Amino acid sequence: MRIGETHAPQGTSIAVEGLTQRFGGNTVLDRIDLRLAPGQVLALLGPSGCGKTTLLKLLAGLTPVAPGHGRIRFGETLVAGDGQFVPPEQRGLGMVFQDYALWPHMTVGRNVAFALEMRGVPRSERAERVAGALEIVGLKGYAERQPSSLSGGQQQRVALARAIVAKPQVLLFDEPLSNLDRELRESLCHEMGLLLRAMGTTAVYVTHDQEEAFALADSVAVMHGGRIQQLSSPEQLMQAPASALVADFLKLGNVLHADDIPPAWRVAAQALARDDRHQHLFIPQGALQLGTDMRAAMRAQVVAQRWRHGRFITQVKTGAGCKGLSFTTAQRLGADAIVDLALDWPALRWLPQAA
Ligand SMILES: Nc1ncnc2c1ncn2[C@@H]1O[C@H](COP(=O)(O)OP(=O)(O)OP(=O)(O)O)[C@@H](O)[C@H]1O
């Protein structure tokens, strides 16, 4: 198999129900529910401390599920919960960590072969499968090298080969690219996406990097404070964030609390449909622009501009005591310049703080 080829899924489905994890009095995961179809890639995305790694460790079996704190199924098999516990080595897993976790005293080939040795796979078959896994990750001919002689990106490829060599039904990734520089991260992320599609393995991928999550995953669980705020496809998350927390974390636009809406926009904002729980006005990227041709235009003063992805991200203030806003434009504007801002009202929505 090579990157780009597709195979029938060899992964299993994953179902998590009511999963809760407490450390002392601290609830780190709070009744997590999720379902993943065979061969799907799920990203767990959220800020530091939101519980991503804790959830991954429960899936791996590195942390047991406490009695009455939910259950985890791989396919039809209950792997944790209700008094059942399948240990990590019997869950059909491959794991890739941030720090590569290669054994420094073993060659690349032995590092990759180790999981097969443990399973008692005969030597001749081992050599073939190790060579195959190294070829898949672009390290053909590296079997006799020492890990210390490889770059960070190459070491992470070895870790990936080691994770896939035993043909796992589930691959678990914990921030695997965060030790690499930006360019390498982007190219390896792209390659891993192709590889996961080609292998058809079910995968759960922990990251705090939105670009990585959106590039790799079929669905993304945005986590905050031990809960899944929204579990959707990347497209759906971008088009329809379910809460102010999600819109803000993904930087999808401006999110203004009802009390922070500039006076010039208040009447029009209150005319938009909302219910009592919806206290935040979401202004999607692109709905706030320079110009006076839309309803309730407003003057603002430029605070700062920075260049990103071919546009200027422009921060403005709209009046004393008002919360700052930002929008993108192709125009360079001088600091302190006074500009007219207009809103595309039909694109705006009221959102609840959290889902
Ligand atoms: N073994 C433990 N004992 C006590 N508290 C823990 C333990 N493991 C994790 N925590 C706490 O649980 C919370 C969630 O940690 P977790 O590592 O899951 O977060 P995360 O979202 O993966 O963050 P990061 O992106 O920084 O790795 C944190 O407040 C952490 O301090």
More confident residue, 8 or 260: 260
- Looking at the predicted structure, is the pLDDT value of residue 154 above 80? yes
- Looking at the predicted structure, is the pLDDT value of residue 111 above 70? yes
Is the ipTM higher than 0.90? The answer is yes
Q: Which atom from ligand 1 is nearest to the alpha carbon of 63?
A: 1
Q: How far apart are CA 18 and CA 234, in angstroms?
A: 24
In CATH, the number for domain 251-352 is 2.40.50.140
Q: What pLDDT does 115 receive?
A: 84
- Looking at the predicted structure, is the pLDDT value of residue 276 above 80? yes
| Span between the terminal Cα atoms of the chain, in Å | 42
Q: What are 17-40's pLDDT values in tens digits? A: 999 999 998 999 999 999 999 999
Residue spans per domain, the chain:
14-239, 251-352
Q: What are 126-136's pLDDT values in tens digits? A: 999 999 999 98
Candidate CATH numbers 3.40.50.720, 3.40.50.970, 3.40.50.300, 3.30.70.100; the one for domain 14-239? 3.40.50.300
- Looking at the predicted structure, is the pLDDT value of residue 3 above 70? no
Mean pLDDT of the region 72-90: 95
On whether the CB atoms of residues 73 and 79 are closer than 8 A, the answer is yes
**Nearest Cα to 341, choosing from 296, 295, 290, 303?**
290
Q: Which of the four pLDDT bands, split at 50, 70 and 90, describes residue 294?
A: low
Q: Which atom from ligand 1 is nearest to the alpha carbon of 54?
A: 18
Substitution candidate for ligand 1 out of 29, 52, 179 with most atoms within 8 A of CB: 52
Substitution candidate for ligand 1 out of 27, 53, 59 with most atoms within 8 A of CB: 53
Q: How far apart are CA 78 and CA 284, in angstroms?
A: 42
- Looking at the predicted structure, is the pLDDT value of residue 1 above 50? no
Among protein residues, the one with the nearest Cα to ligand 1's atom 24 is: 48
- Looking at the predicted structure, is the pLDDT value of residue 5 above 50? no
Q: Which of 21-25, 69-73, 257-261, 286-290 has the highest mean pLDDT?
A: 69-73
Alpha-helical runs (H) found in 106-252: 108-118, 123-136, 152-164, 182-199, 210-216, 234-239, 244-249
On whether the CB atoms of residues 95 and 60 are closer than 8 A, the answer is yes
Q: What pLDDT does 309 receive?
A: 82
CA of 52 from ligand 1 middle (Å) equals: 8
Q: What pLDDT does 275 receive?
A: 85
Mean pLDDT of the region 309-337: 89
Q: What pLDDT does 9 receive?
A: 52
- Looking at the predicted structure, is the pLDDT value of residue 343 above 70? yes
Ligand 1-lining residues (CB < 6 angstroms): 23, 28, 46, 48-54, 208
